[in-house]
Structure 1
């Protein structure tokens, strides 16, 4: 996972790409065919089917930018997000950074689409970011028909699963054809290495799993065997995938829900009330 990546394609190709991306089931009840999911690690047959359904419940973040000074070019950035309520998703800041940092006068759109309903993308807006810890909260224009996640704490050497939606293995944003599945994502199984991740200097509230994820998994959930979110993937370092712990995620979400305190001026100083 690198910082947000982008490709420029002529606007005329946009509709062709959309046809490839948006083909398939229109509801979450119809799970993705298992052959469209790349499984990393050992999964038995029943678990593959279960995880294929689980993958449908996590929306994809698609950032599409059209800049005012380049009206014939479309900028793409893709990643994964976590549905924390019917109309709010959590993702990495670096996934939406290009959108969040648009210059004055530039135009852009931010959309979220569930894998089970890729032809029903929903417009979103950024309501809170934390570039330092790499988190962003997005508010959707309308609710997504999927169950929001629940959170749990990570444990060392705990068996976990990750779900992500990486770009293709060649590293390019391509028009999907017979060589690429209509929904290209990854489900991987690994173990939590450390709940503290002390081998990453300057990073607090970080854990890691002993597997390197593909770019595009950024913002994706790290799940325990009860499908509870114990963290959100953020970067790869030294062959491991690092995740923001559920405690940090929940604190970030809670801050948004807490009304801001009214400033009170006392003797020329501003303090919270």
Structure 2
């Protein structure tokens, strides 16, 4: 008798109210403005620019079947930031269950453009930092999109965010064998603090004044030149918080650096 699968969408948490998002990335050409939902005022030229920019933010999709729940399929859906042709950054909480998958569980990790959901690319986790909520993924093949550039934020500057795992009709997006059509959402906001210090235990974060809907994790915060000032991670106290570009770049740099040779010290255990 064929099993009937129950689909469950899990929106990742990172100790606070985390946000998991969808954004887009074009495989052969820039996305059409008609496939993107804009919130706020955007003139035609800005719409076209942001449609091109959105190609560098592919969807992350985690599909997980647990050994003790074989009749259920769990999903984590988020966004990522293309830092090279075959590498993306996302939030750790988006891929956490996959990264910590026990023996016996089955899972898949892919990235795809909302404009080309029928062309998912398999990915593997290269490095994670659960404390700062970052994960670096390596793709099986290159993407036809331009990697991003980073810059530093300024207080009160206008910024843009990309994403949401809901289309304008409000339907949740589940990326499975049948890939649905969907929309990116691009929203306008403003930096509240480029060095936020109002969240206990959190460093290397900034905040924007508008709290985003549930579903933005791993998505970019962009300046008016479409450069990345940070990556969204959680909502707290009515504001959306992002990991600063400085923190993101340090994480990438540390990943690229050769591992240091371990030194044995008397009285200490090295692993």
How far off its partner does 1:57 sit? 2.6
Provide the rounded CA distance (Å) in 2 between the counterparts of 1:28 and 1:248.
Answer: 31
- TM-score normalised to the size of structure 2? 0.82
How far off its partner does 1:168 sit? 5.0
1:97 aligns to what? 96
Mapped contact 1:57–1:114 kept (Cα < 8 A): no
1:232 aligns to what? 231
Is 165-174 or 95-104 further displaced after alignment?
A: 165-174
User: Helix, strand or coil: the match of 1:126?
Assistant: strand
How far off its partner does 1:89 sit? 0.5
- TM-score normalised to the size of structure 1? 0.82
1:31 aligns to what? 31
Provide the rounded CA distance (Å) in 2 between the counterparts of 1:122 and 1:106.
Answer: 21
Provide the rounded CA distance (Å) in 1 between the counterparts of 2:145 and 2:245.
Answer: 20
Provide the rounded CA distance (Å) in 1 between the counterparts of 2:26 and 2:248.
Answer: 30
Provide the rounded CA distance (Å) in 2 between the counterparts of 1:223 and 1:48.
Answer: 14
User: Helix, strand or coil: the match of 1:264?
Assistant: coil
- Distance of aligned partners of 1:201 and 1:175 in 2 relative to their CA distance in 1, 3 Å threshold: closer
Provide, for residues 176-200 of structure 1, a one-character-per-residue CA deviation record: whole Å limited to 9, x for no partner: 9xxxx92222101111111111222
Unmatched tracts of structure 1, length 5 or more: 1-8, 15-24
2:50 aligns to what? 51
Provide the rounded CA distance (Å) in 1 between the counterparts of 2:224 and 2:60.
Answer: 24
- May I ask how many residue pairs the two structures share in their alignment? 249
Output aligned runs, 1:92-131, within 5 Å.
92-131=91-130
CA RMSD of superposed structures (Å): 2.8
Higher helix share: 1
How far off its partner does 1:205 sit? 0.8
User: Helix, strand or coil: the match of 2:96?
Assistant: helix
